[in-house]
Amino acid sequence: MTQGVVLRPGRDDDAEGFIRLIGACWGEYPNCILDVDAEVPELRALASHYARVGGALWVAERGGLVSGMAACRPAEDGAWEICKVYLDKVLRGGALAHELVAAAERHALAAGAERLFLWTDTRFARAHGFYAKRSYVRQGPIRALNDLSNTLEYRYAKPGRGIVVERLDAAAAATAGRRLSALLAACVHDGASLSFLPPLAPQRATQHWDQVASGVALGHRALLAAWRNGEMMGTVQLDLGTPENQPHRAEIMQLLVHPAARRAGIGSALVRAAEDEARAAGRSLLTVATPDDAAAGALWRGRDYVEAGRVPGYTLDADRTPRDRLFFWKVIA
């Protein structure tokens, strides 16, 4: 817990603190207007409001003042919404925001949530980066609230439990770049990978994932992500080419599984999902190039891929040891 801060359940008598905190956060943005009685009267008794709908509310108290807050409530089809996440400006950038949201997520999951989602103002760019760190990605269209602030909101979401693989559309791919950069860095640092991984500086990594998102938008590439218990722990790309120059073949590229999640079935789940995507796109042959690594070889052979050849000494490990490059293929029609 952040020093000097107490995390506790929210109460109705925190109303003045909630209004002060939210007003200060909104005041950082032009034309962001908080009119409590006209638009958010529930702030007068917020704990009761969430209790009535089966949700919960937390407060970060510092020096007797409300310095942060977060809430959650059940929605539809096993999903829970994370709501009212605000933090004093002086406390941002540390662990407190994560502690607040983690409390809300734990409550939702304990209550049976299968999926977590939230809405965030399109102007709150710093918040978008924070949610991306917590493995949320953009999902669905922007919504307009038609309120005094002319608010437009993005929806962010993620699976809550188990191993789940999803295909990311262009918006989700763009917002996943921060998390995928961290995943790439972890895999490069670990040294045991399922793909050839270039060590990229942070700026280059951002550019790399922006290019991937562009390929997704153009329809040339599919990007899949794997979550384990709400944390994005793996990804794979599928190069589809175009029907004109590659009508029957797709290539599996950059399969990454976080070192902390190896041997949990994530790699196989990603490959299986990539095969399904290739079939759906009308491709009948899948190819992949991989380092000559025991884990990588076992993965592809275990999925019935056939070794088609190798290039000796194609790349060097961190200790300058040469490694071969292997090629595999599989008919999936």
Read off the pLDDT of residues 62-77 as tens digits, 9 standing for 90 and up.
999 999 999 999 999 9
| pLDDT for the residue 316 | 67
47 contacts 14 by C-beta, under 8 angstroms: yes
Euclidean distance between CA atoms 67 and 98, whole angstroms = 14
pLDDT tens sequence across 123-159: 999 999 999 999 999 999 999 999 999 999 999 999 9
Whether the per-residue pLDDT at 201 is higher than 80: the answer is no
The yes-or-no verdict on residue 218 having pLDDT over 80 is yes
Q: How far apart are CA 44 and CA 308, in angstroms?
A: 68
pLDDT category at 46 given cuts 50, 70, 90 is very high
Q: For the sheet containing 285-291, what is the strand order? A: 163-168, 221-228, 231-239, 249-257, 285-291, 322-331, 306-316
pLDDT over 70 for what percent of the chain? 93
Q: Is the pLDDT of residue 197 over 70?
A: no
Residue closest to 241 by CA, chosen among 213, 203, 278: 278
pLDDT score, position 3: 76
Least confident of 12-16, 24-28, 254-258: 254-258
Domain boundaries along the sequence of the chain: 5-159, 163-331
CATH topology agreement for domains 5-159 and 163-331: yes
Confidence of residue 331 (pLDDT cuts 50, 70, 90): very high
Distance between CA atoms of 222 and 213, rounded to whole angstroms? 9
**Whole-number Å distance between alpha carbons of 254 and 29:** 39
- pLDDT tens sequence across 233-280: 999 999 997 666 678 899 999 899 999 998 899 999 999 999 999 999
Extract the tokens encoding 199.
């060590």
- Average pLDDT for residues 106-127, to the nearest whole number? 97
Average pLDDT value over all residues in the chain: 91
pLDDT of 200 reads: 61
Higher-pLDDT residue of 46, 205: 46
Question: Does 37 have pLDDT greater than 90?
Answer: yes
Pick the CATH number of 5-159 from 3.40.640.10, 1.20.1250.20, 3.40.630.30, 3.30.70.20: 3.40.630.30
Q: What is the mean pLDDT of residues 303-329?
A: 83
Which pTM does this prediction carry? 0.92
Q: Given this model, what pLDDT does residue 245 score? A: 66
Residue 2, pLDDT above cutoff 80: no
> What pLDDT shows up at residue 189?
66
- What CATH number belongs to 163-331? 3.40.630.30
- Stronger pLDDT, 79 or 315, i.e. the higher one: 79
Residues in the chain, total: 333
Q: What is the DSSP letter of 195?
A: S
CB atoms within 10 A of CB 52: 11
- Residues 210, 216 contacting (CB under 8 angstroms): no
Q: Spell out the residues 6+ positions from residue 222 whose beta carbon is closer than 8 angstroms to its own.
A: 167, 216, 237, 238, 240, 274, 277, 281
* Assigned token pair, 115: 């999926």
